[in-house]
Amino acid sequence: MDADTSSRAATVNIAAALPRLANAAPDRIAMRCPGPDGRYADAHALTYGALDTRSDAIAAGLAARGIVRGTRTVLMVRPTPEFFLLMFALFKAGAVPVLVDPGIDKRALRQCLDEAGAEAFIGIPLAQFARVLLRWATSARVRITTGRWALLSDATLADVERAGAGAGPQLAATAGDDVAAILFTSGSTGVPKGVVYRHRHFAAQIDMLRDAFGIGAGGVDLPTFPPFALFDPALGLTSIIPDMDPTRPAQADPRKLHAAIARFGVDQLFGSPALMGVLATYGKPLPGLRRVTSAGAPVPPDTVAKILELLPDDARFWTPYGATECLPVAVIEGRELLELRTRTEHGAGTCVGRPVPPNEVRIIRVDDAAIPEWSDDLLAPPGTIGEITVAGPSATDTYFNRDAQTRLAKIRERVEVAPIQPAPVNGRGLDGGCERIVHRMGDLGYFDAEGRLWFCGRKGHRVVTATGTLCTEQVEPVFNVHPEVRRTALVGVGPKAHQTPVLCVELEAGVAKTEQARIADELRHIGEGFVHTGRIERVLFHPGFPVDIRHNAKIGRETLAAWAATRVG
């Protein structure tokens, strides 16, 4: 192997697939985005060829402005062609895009941006105004706007692209260990944390998604969570960006989604459980779809059943389990999930399926403290509930600038490897062995006798009473069977170890307040049917649960607990 070939072989970069695909099929559509009027005009579409050459030009133009390998660059751009061009340009440049969910609390947003120590800021004009007004990302020395005028910034994206035009192919020779992006968590349990993605994490995710879901090039995808669209070009898919507010999937208009699916022959769809709820309630068949995936929180069994009814018989409905820090961890298909519905409704938790190879998923004893080193003594006895941990090629190893959080979520593990065996993919070499990072999911769960993983709720949401521990996901589905109940949330009031369990209840629309006393009695009766729910006596009715900003599906139990505390003496 000559030096040039070996350096090319070592390059790991999510953008590396793009020139290959662009060469093979330059005119294939990579993305179609709705214009401001919601229409899918050709002006808002990008072919593989255009995505490749234009992102080359932008990468070269960014380099001329000082955005180069390693430059942390906040990107605040809506899911338009500009967003995808910029993301691929930043990857090609080896720069580090920083993504924060739009719509998070403004104070938390500023904290995230400060923490990221951004060196550059690329945004729509509104984001540039906010940056100046709210003093966001003051460390950013390069500012680029996607607007028509360079107001409040150094240049427009058009200037950047013009400056780099004709520079030819760009691809930084990034190594697997180099930082590729900083992606913030959704912050459903506090201020979002910046997850450090290395190029090898993205590369592994693409392989794992392709294998777990049998994704082949040439399909047409409707990713309703825009960052997921970034995987599509690497998988050879066409992305149709839906005409909806990506921060409000629960409010998406199902007619628009159906129109896009029919018009562009969409055969795969990703959406949060809230978006699945929208499609299920709308109830129109989804004949062209072959693969639907939903993640972020458990999908209610009624929604799973309805979506399966709407899909063709040979279509698959996957509910992968994972987190920003590690994705995918495990996966289950909707039909198997439905077969296990009774167990969930009897308090077993929600089955999230079998680990996606080559993940190693292990359950450790519940502990709120940091665990620096792995030891097999940490393991919970087989079949018992503990914290879910993952070691695997897509498990990230650190948060950015959050040492305390990193210590709480990561365990170093020394792995002995025989000389002929390759080192674990996320490992670092050591004398006579290798070290890898185990990620703690912060979720409770267990394995059943068939090797399936069950999710029992978040560790921080467990309710510890004087007589034992209650897990949210083992309690709520028991009560959710009541026909007039939309959803329930278990919270604890009082000091840990002496908490009073309180069941917060959101009723179906149209149920009168006067029915609440009867429903509370009926819920207590349902609870008495199982040992673990029999102790829950306090029932509080809430007009509409707070939910997370990313998926609109995770219930804000911290907020509900504070609310419940004001009502329970």
Contacting residues toward ligand ATP, per CB under 6 A: 185-190, 192-193, 295-298, 319, 321-324, 350, 352, 441-443, 455, 458, 548, 550, 554
Residues 6+ apart with CB under 8 A from 475: 347, 488, 490, 501, 503, 532, 533, 536
At 85, the amino acid letter reads L
Residue 445: DSSP 8-state: E
Closer residue to ligand ATP (CB): 124 or 329? 329
Closer residue to ligand ATP (CB): 12 or 332? 332
Closer residue to ligand ATP (CB): 104 or 118? 104
Closer residue to ligand ATP (CB): 49 or 477? 477
Q: Residue 16 Cβ, how far from ligand ATP at the closest point, in Å?
A: 26
Q: Residue 326 Cβ, how far from ligand ATP at the closest point, in Å?
A: 9
Q: Residue 169 Cβ, how far from ligand ATP at the closest point, in Å?
A: 34
- Annotate 265-299 with DSSP letters as a single string: T--EEE--HHHHHHHHHH----TT-SEEE--SSPP
Closer residue to ligand ATP (CB): 319 or 389? 319
Q: Residue 47 Cβ, how far from ligand ATP at the closest point, in Å?
A: 32
CA-CA distance, 537 to 516, in Å (whole number)?
14
Closer residue to ligand ATP (CB): 186 or 516? 186
Q: Residue 427 Cβ, how far from ligand ATP at the closest point, in Å?
A: 23
In this structure, the strands spanning 321-323 and 326-331 are antiparallel
Closer residue to ligand ATP (CB): 11 or 469? 469
Count of H-run helices and E-run strands, the chain? 18, 28
Provide the H-helix boundaries in 33-94: 48-64, 81-93
Q: Residue 440 Cβ, how far from ligand ATP at the closest point, in Å?
A: 10
- Contact between 123 and 131 under an 8 Å Cβ cutoff? The reply is yes
Closer residue to ligand ATP (CB): 323 or 395? 323
Residue 342, φ and ψ in degrees, nearest 5: -60, -40
- Annotate 190-214 with DSSP letters as a single string: SS--EEEEEHHHHHHHHHHHHHHHT
CA-CA distance, 448 to 446, in Å (whole number)?
7
- Contact between 504 and 545 under an 8 Å Cβ cutoff? The reply is yes
| Cross-sheet strand order for the sheet of 268-270 | 45-47, 29-32, 238-240, 220-223, 268-270, 291-293, 316-318
**C-alpha triplet 483, 485, 491: angle, nearest 5°:** 140
- Contact between 115 and 67 under an 8 Å Cβ cutoff? The reply is no
Of 197, 5, 186, 192, give the one whose Cα is nearest residue 87. 197
Residue 441, φ and ψ in degrees, nearest 5: -75, -20
Closer residue to ligand ATP (CB): 72 or 440? 440
CA-CA distance, 49 to 28, in Å (whole number)?
8
- Annotate 208-252 with DSSP letters as a single string: HHHHHHT--TT-EEEESSGGGGGHHHHHTPEEE--SS-TT-GGG-
Q: Residue 298 Cβ, how far from ligand ATP at the closest point, in Å?
A: 4
Q: Residue 200 Cβ, how far from ligand ATP at the closest point, in Å?
A: 19
CA-CA distance, 501 to 388, in Å (whole number)?
23
Burial class of 24 by CB neighbour count within 10 A (0 to 12, 13 to 18, 19+):
exposed
Cβ of 422: how many Cβ atoms within 10 Å? 8
Q: Residue 300 Cβ, how far from ligand ATP at the closest point, in Å?
A: 11
Closer residue to ligand ATP (CB): 12 or 104? 104
Closer residue to ligand ATP (CB): 170 or 324? 324
